[in-house]
Structure 1
Amino acid sequence: MVASRLIILGISLFWVGVSWAGPEMDAVMVEGVRTIDRRVASWLKAEKKKVPEISDDAVFLRRAFLVTVGRIPTAEEARAFLDDTDPEKRRGLISHLVHAPGYSWSMTNWAFDLLRVTDRKPGFNGSFEPYRAWVARAMVENRPWDQFTREVIAAKGNPWSLEGAPVGYYLRDRGMPLDNLANTTRIFLGSRMECAQCHDDPFGTTERRDFYELAAFTHGLHEADRSPMRPLWDELEEGDRRDSWEYRVARELWDRIYGMSVVGGGEGRIRLPEDYQYRDGDPGEWIGGRTPFGKTVRMSERSQANDGRAQLAEWVTERTGEQFASVIANRMWARVMGRPLYDPVDEYQDAEDTRFPELVRDLSRLMVALDYDLQRFQWVLLNTRAFEFAPNPEVGRFGNGEDLMGRPLARLAAEQIWDSLVTLAKGDPDQVEVPTSDGRFRVNGRLVGGGTLSYENVYAEVMELGSEAAFRKYFADLVKATQSEGSGGGEESSMVAMGPRGGSGGRGGLVRACFLPSPAPRDHLLYVFGQSDREIVEGGSREPNVGQVLTLMNGFVQKQLVENGDAQVFTCLEGVEDARERVRRIYLAVLGRPPTDEELSWMMDEVRISGSEAWRNIVAVLVMSSEFVFIQ
């Protein structure tokens, strides 16, 4: 049990730290750091603001870890950094972190939240695993953001293939094409156009016709023609055969082959809705695609095209002026500095309309100069003096003018809390292989063709079947194969795309948040601490609630840390007899810093009173402290 006197003391606990070395920087990156530092210094001078102090090593280390790799440092990593006397160790740490595996997994969490990547959707019985694995792979490969954007918007092809997997972006919103378009403009262009689905935007300049002209570029997406399979499916559905093996095979084809098809490149024209109420068009009238800002792209309302989404992707990434670059630059600034330069982060503002026009413009230019490389861009931000400024509790208060004077105090995101607790439980959580999609075709958990047949191949073959007779023959051969060949685990083994092979516990164990179900179940720590439900863009919350306190006191922390003698936070004490050094190591593991003299005195009192139980009590109280769940 946690020693209540330690909680009553209300210990004021603080900060944190690890290792380094990384690839070379280039001239554009170095100049980017200098430019940002000059802009911030000029702003401070013009506003007659005192230059903020620089954070100490412990604060810098914990901040750098949480921002870049999404977790706290281990005790060993903290000790290595804090004991190092190299004056360039901060630069070395940043280079190490942005090229560590944890950077990719932290960015995967970011991308999942932004794109609303989910494992399930009501009414959809296909699989989002190929899409989910594709997004994660893009983060691991550090795919340039403009390329990533084009691949998402113009996605086409086999949903189980490496090239076609991003069609999952449209499967995510199947049946809601207008909502999908609204999310596209919000995510990639910072344009909130959802209101214009129903009426002219009373708070902006977007008219309803503008929205439908843009929707024309993506209009016409549909499933592949199911007519070759339909007669057989109806026979199995209507007859008393739902428990048959044939039905199970057919169900797999119906849901995970036809049900995951995305056909159509975007017709480039659309009919105005029947309730259209403005004078610039008639209900049901055909209108052609037209972009509402940037360099105009038009498509004809008189003929149906098949490349509307490709044209839309090109317009978004290359013909919207500085808007596309500015929005992603502002998102990265918010990720690193804790607050965007213009807010909300998904409502684009022209540089001249922001409080920091020169800086906003410089960041957009830097993003373009770095070819939309988010890793290198964040390296630049992480190496600025602004990132090193001491935390400032005044940042973010409306109208106080403190925005460039230090990172705001903020509670950790749910994923950061989970990944940090996993670090305390098992050490560095990134010693896993890069996840790949299993993709082998299964029926009721049984591998087909001895595991050699893949969903990708089955999809390609089924899409080539042009008649009922051809489908029936293919189906009969497939049924025979599934009855006679191979075996597999249960249903849950059908896809293991995001479970790190060789990792502990797979999708349900002590692994990074990005490997767990998306979103997490309602009883999971991630849900309790506000992980997005993946219904809206960046829907996560950092608001406190009673459940969070109870979870830290009685849930994961108690089971996996306090009562688990094999947890890394305790194994780092092995061979250490001196009680003071044990306290120091626990502090390094949990908070990334050594205890103050006063804190050490409190903890030594606890050791004298509670004996061997003291170590568990100390771990519990530190993890439940505000310092642990906040980033400075």
Structure 2
Amino acid sequence: MKKHRIFTFQRRQTEACLHAMKTFALLLLVATVTHGAALPEAAKIDSLLAADWQKHNLQPNAAAPDEVIVRRLYLDIAGRIPTVEESREFIQSGDPQKRAKLIDKLLGSDGYTSHMFNFWADVLRLTDNTKGRITAEAYEEWLKKELKANTPYDQFVKKLLTTEGGAWDSGSIGFYQRDENKLDHLAYTVQVFLGTSIVCAQCHNHPFDKWSQKDYYGMAAFTYGMDTRGSGITDIKLPRRPPQNKNLPEFITSMKAKDRRQYMKDHPEEMAKIRAEAAEKGKATSEEMNQVRKALGDVMKPLRYTAVSWQEGKLPKLPADYAYTDAKPGDTIQPNAMFGHEATPKEGQTTVQAFADWMTDPENPRFTTVIANRMWKHVFGTGVIEPLDEITDSTVPSNPALMDYLAQLMIEKKYSLKSFLRVLYNTDTYQRMASTQEVALGEINHFTGPSLRRMSAEQVWDSMITLTKGNVDGEVDEENQRLHQYLNDLNMFITTMKEKGPEGIVAAAKAGMEERKENDRKLDEMRAKMAEQKDGVANPADAKALANAANKLRRESSNNLLENLIGEERAEDLIRGYSPNKEANKEAKKRPKMSREVMATLTKEERKALSRNEGDRTMVSRASELPSPARPGHFLRTFGQSDREVIDNASEDASVPQALTLLNGPVIKSLTSPVSLLSQQLKDAGSADEKVALLYEALLSRRPTNNERAVLSQVIQERGDIAVEDVTHALITGSQFLFIQ
């Protein structure tokens, strides 16, 4: 019996020793990489993952070679493939810290700004196809500047939640202008920043979570006072009717109130006559005020959806069909946080400022976790928590220790997204080969490496731009001069209106009163004629002519008032209006400049194609500089760019139209145009073998393998010069190009 116990004890000791050695070997394997332990925070993440692998008897993926890493880093950080020169420089470098240095370089580049703009535009549903087009463009520009400045994420969110004023003050007002429905906007806000889907509770108690409809309205109360219909001159109030005593005789209005009442009492017949005359004068004045307000309404149209203002104390009411016993339909609901501590305004704070503090507080149980998880998914392809925006009290991360540390790291980095991403990109795990096995629904991703992912639509587009034009990161616009000129004009208009005040505005409107009355009379006649034509058989040309004439008269009336308010010269730009696509169209029509030496190398057919400007108008700018989102049918939409109607709505699914676009679409014409960078590089490459090798470097950031060379040599022998075109199409449409390895 004693020998048996000793044997059992020895066996357990041996097993424990083997277990410890296995764990040590695994940790040693994790720590052994080509670039060394660049950051202690990255090593900590690797150790947490290694513990999870050991627990589940898993091995990490193999370390990725430089050829894979350089392409992955450019795509993941700058949103595009590297140029041939950039990949060669990295691969040929013997610097042991070259990976860490490249990460820092790319995080500081304009390419990072462009790529992260595309990411956040999808999350925040940025679209310029809204009523407030000017505000939408100002919002997009504001986002780019915040990303480039690396504004801490908590401060970034506070700016969005507490924004106020006009688009000329800050483009961040586009956050509230995005949705006219305040209740819908609250649901999007909570989903994006707190990772919690509460939209069901807008109409009824949540069927799968604890949130009630009353809870929803309590959260909506925090932002309900944000007025998105203001014009920036909310403090100017035009009188709706003349003052009661304005048209009375001066000898009566100059009396003291007591004496005036006594006089009116002692002279009833005289007062009746005076009141009748005053009423007639007042009627005329009221008509004038109606004309003033009507004219001013036309002038103020450019200011619609360009400003937001906070109204403290404005609260939502429960709907008429509210069906629960905890409140009654029509009850006014006070602000109430759904979880965590109370969001009580401090002295001098508004309700929405208190809400912003509560939202971004490190003690908030979800704010930090959500952004840390969102960034992890951005880097590794899958979140530690999935789905990342449907967190409930029962949600358990796939690796709780890792999720806790990521949240802690985000706080330690003071919500600097660049600093946080720098740690993730420097982990050994990220720099391993991609996991090609898709994690099945319901199963856990143990992150033995980043997930194999297809490029986003924007990454495909920007990579095509790189092949066609080279590195254009420096051309990412920081400021739209035409936009700011127009915003300055609007601000000047508002400032002038405030300076003039109600009396000055009324005086300016009255100056052209008779002309506007005559125009209104003509407009009424035109409307009557159009109504007659609509009821009968109308000539479409006549109806169109009438409509154009009516619009011209309406514009003339508002333009005259605008000139009376701010002067003819200053009114010119506002009358002309804002045309956001003028500069883009002008740029798109430019033909590429080519040297005489390059022109001399072109064939007759190539020169004809160039003279027709075939293919060179398409690849103008990076995706972040194009309309947001692109129009339906555009390359970006074909490859799954989000329509910006739903949060994080982009698609990476393959389709037949994508294959056809890559085979013979206008983008391929741009790529194969004799003026494209790739075409010029191929001309200089020499033999067909060298051209094909260059294609591999340009598209895949590596040279062909020996097996690939053997196959390609046979293709070149059979197809001759056409083989280069064949290989180009094969690589462009292949998974090695379209996927982030």
Q: Which amino acid aligns with 1:49?
A: L
User: What per-residue deviation string (whole Å, max 9, x for no partner) do you get for residues 140-161 of structure 1?
Assistant: 1111100100000111112222
The correspondence of residues 105-504 of structure 1 with structure 2, limited to 5 A, is 105-121=114-130, 123-124=131-132, 127-161=135-169, 164-174=170-180, 176-222=181-227, 223-224=229-230, 225=234, 228=238, 253-267=299-313, 269-298=315-344, 307-318=350-361, 320-348=363-391, 353-432=396-475, 434-438=477-481, 454-462=489-497, 466-467=501-502, 469-470=504-505, 473=508, 475=562, 476-478=564-566, 480-481=568-569, 491-492=579-580
Q: Which residue of 2 aligns with 1:622?
A: 731
CA 1:484/1:170 → structure 2, altered by over 3 Å: closer, same or farther?
A: closer
| Residue 342 of structure 1, CA deviation | 0.6
8 Å CA contact retained: 1:395, 1:402: no
8 Å CA contact retained: 2:117, 2:143: yes
CA 1:432/1:124 → structure 2, altered by over 3 Å: closer, same or farther?
A: closer
The correspondence of residues 74-89 of structure 1 with structure 2, limited to 5 A, is 74-89=83-98
CA 1:42/1:558 → structure 2, altered by over 3 Å: closer, same or farther?
A: same
8 Å CA contact retained: 1:395, 1:406: no
CA 1:342/1:485 → structure 2, altered by over 3 Å: closer, same or farther?
A: closer
Q: Which residue of 1 aligns with 2:78?
A: 69
SS in 2 for 1:263: strand
Aligned-residue CA RMSD (Å): 3.5
| Residue 606 of structure 1, CA deviation | 3.3
8 Å CA contact retained: 1:216, 1:266: no
8 Å CA contact retained: 2:460, 2:738: yes
Q: Which amino acid aligns with 1:481?
A: E
Farther-moved stretch of structure 1 (179-188 vs 78-87):
78-87
| Residue 570 of structure 1, CA deviation | 2.2
8 Å CA contact retained: 1:108, 1:136: yes
| Residue 361 of structure 1, CA deviation | 0.5
8 Å CA contact retained: 1:154, 1:309: yes
Q: Which amino acid aligns with 1:427?
A: G
C-alpha separation in 2, matches of 1:313 and 1:483 = 39
C-alpha separation in 2, matches of 1:440 and 1:514 = 16
Q: Which amino acid aligns with 2:640?
A: G
CA 1:186/1:47 → structure 2, altered by over 3 Å: closer, same or farther?
A: same
| Residue 297 of structure 1, CA deviation | 2.1
8 Å CA contact retained: 1:126, 1:256: no
User: What per-residue deviation string (whole Å, max 9, x for no partner) do you get for residues 264-298 of structure 1?
Assistant: 25536322121111111111112210101111125
8 Å CA contact retained: 2:619, 2:670: no
8 Å CA contact retained: 2:66, 2:91: yes
| Residue 63 of structure 1, CA deviation | 1.4
| Residue 456 of structure 1, CA deviation | 3.2
8 Å CA contact retained: 1:233, 1:250: no
8 Å CA contact retained: 1:265, 1:309: no
SS in 2 for 1:211: helix
| Residue 506 of structure 1, CA deviation | 13
| Residue 124 of structure 1, CA deviation | 4.8
Q: Which amino acid aligns with 1:143?
A: T
User: What per-residue deviation string (whole Å, max 9, x for no partner) do you get for residues 548-572 of structure 1?
Assistant: 111111113431113x022122222
User: What per-residue deviation string (whole Å, max 9, x for no partner) do you get for residues 511-530 of structure 1?
Assistant: 11110001101121000011
8 Å CA contact retained: 2:74, 2:106: yes
User: What per-residue deviation string (whole Å, max 9, x for no partner) do you get for residues 155-202 of structure 1?
Assistant: 1112222xx32111111102x101100000001110111110001111
| Residue 615 of structure 1, CA deviation | 2.5
Q: Which residue of 1 aligns with 2:39?
A: 30
User: What per-residue deviation string (whole Å, max 9, x for no partner) do you get for residues 221-265 of structure 1?
Assistant: 322358659999986998xxxxxxxx9x975x5333243221225
8 Å CA contact retained: 2:168, 2:488: no
Structure 2 unpaired stretches of 5+: 1-36, 241-286, 509-560, 593-614
C-alpha separation in 1, matches of 2:447 and 2:109 = 28
CA 1:76/1:522 → structure 2, altered by over 3 Å: closer, same or farther?
A: same
8 Å CA contact retained: 2:113, 2:148: yes
Q: Which amino acid aligns with 1:267?
A: G
8 Å CA contact retained: 1:149, 1:317: yes
C-alpha separation in 2, matches of 1:485 and 1:271 = 43
Q: Which amino acid aligns with 2:706?
A: D
Structure 1 unpaired stretches of 5+: 1-26, 239-246
Q: Which residue of 2 aligns with 1:552?
A: 662
8 Å CA contact retained: 2:195, 2:370: yes
Farther-moved stretch of structure 1 (531-540 vs 217-226):
217-226
Q: Which amino acid aligns with 1:383?
A: N
Q: Which residue of 2 aligns with 1:20?
A: none
Please say which structure displays the higher CA radius of gyration. Answer: 2
C-alpha separation in 2, matches of 1:582 and 1:83 = 20
8 Å CA contact retained: 1:268, 1:289: no
C-alpha separation in 2, matches of 1:229 and 1:133 = 38
Q: Which amino acid aligns with 2:649?
A: G
8 Å CA contact retained: 2:493, 2:566: no
| Residue 384 of structure 1, CA deviation | 0.3
8 Å CA contact retained: 1:109, 1:514: yes
CA 1:490/1:158 → structure 2, altered by over 3 Å: closer, same or farther?
A: closer
Identity value in percent: 31
1:608 aligns with 2:683: no
User: What per-residue deviation string (whole Å, max 9, x for no partner) do you get for residues 426-484 of structure 1?
Assistant: 11121325421325688xxxx8xxxx953333344446664264266373143622577
Q: Which residue of 1 aligns with 2:525?
A: none
SS in 2 for 1:621: helix
CA 1:202/1:472 → structure 2, altered by over 3 Å: closer, same or farther?
A: farther
8 Å CA contact retained: 1:381, 1:387: yes
1:575 aligns with 2:583: no
User: What per-residue deviation string (whole Å, max 9, x for no partner) do you get for residues 72-94 of structure 1?
Assistant: 11111122222223333222221
SS in 1 for 2:475: coil
C-alpha separation in 2, matches of 1:629 and 1:463 = 56
The normalised TM-score by structure 1 is 0.83
8 Å CA contact retained: 1:217, 1:266: no
8 Å CA contact retained: 1:153, 1:309: yes
Farther-moved stretch of structure 1 (393-402 vs 144-153):
393-402
Q: Which residue of 2 aligns with 1:535?
A: 645
SS in 2 for 1:262: strand
From 39, 47, 50, the counterpart of 2:59: 50
SS in 2 for 1:422: helix
Q: Which amino acid aligns with 1:528?
A: T
Farther-moved stretch of structure 1 (30-39 vs 365-374):
30-39
Moved over 6 A (4+): 229-234, 483-490, 494-497, 502-508
C-alpha separation in 2, matches of 1:428 and 1:534 = 28
CA 1:471/1:332 → structure 2, altered by over 3 Å: closer, same or farther?
A: farther
8 Å CA contact retained: 2:429, 2:447: yes
Q: Which amino acid aligns with 1:216?
A: A
User: What per-residue deviation string (whole Å, max 9, x for no partner) do you get for residues 549-596 of structure 1?
Assistant: 11111113431113x022122222343324332221111101111111
CA 1:308/1:506 → structure 2, altered by over 3 Å: closer, same or farther?
A: farther
